[in-house]
Amino acid sequence: MIYMSVNKYGLDLNIGELWYVPFWQSIEFKITALLVILLALAGICFWWRKSRRKASKPLDPMLVALYKLEQLQLEVDTMESQKFYLGLTLNLKNWIKHRYNLNSLSDTDSELLQALETVQVDDQLKTHIRDVLESSIASRFAKAEINRCVMRFDVDRLVEILKKIPPVGDSV
């Protein structure tokens, strides 16, 4: 038997078929709660794995310098001398900065040569750095076109010298 009633607005309400379901018992709430719990667990797992991961050791500046010089060796025939010597001197200054703890990136070429006189540097390396910086000055500021053979010689000789230098921990 279905009970019918009329409210004050004249609407028929079927009391027998009305059934209130609390929101926490609805299927939508259960699916949403399950998704929130899964996302929270995924976030916790991600955070846990990231916090347990060991910090990566920074690359050795010698290896970075040699890699960049080898890239320059491959591109010596296709690059303009200005860009070549700019990359070569920036790479060389960055290596000197890390190797000898000199502020070589902000120094001019002549200041860098003076600073190299104060630290213990191999004479062969010092003379070749001087030659590279002189070629760099001629190429960058005088806009002189440097011969490809000279460019190749500069980068090859620099790679050869850097490979002979012992790592920082051995002896400076």
The SS3 of residue 169 is: coil
Alpha helices, H only, 56-122: 61-75, 81-100, 109-118
pTM for the whole structure: 0.61
Read off the pLDDT band of 115 (50, 70, 90): confident
Task: Give the closest residue to 81 by CA, choosing from 8, 22, 124, 132.
Answer: 132
**Residues 94, 102 contacting (CB under 8 angstroms):** no
Q: What is the pLDDT of residues 82-114, one digit of tens each?
A: 888 888 888 888 888 888 888 888 888 888 888
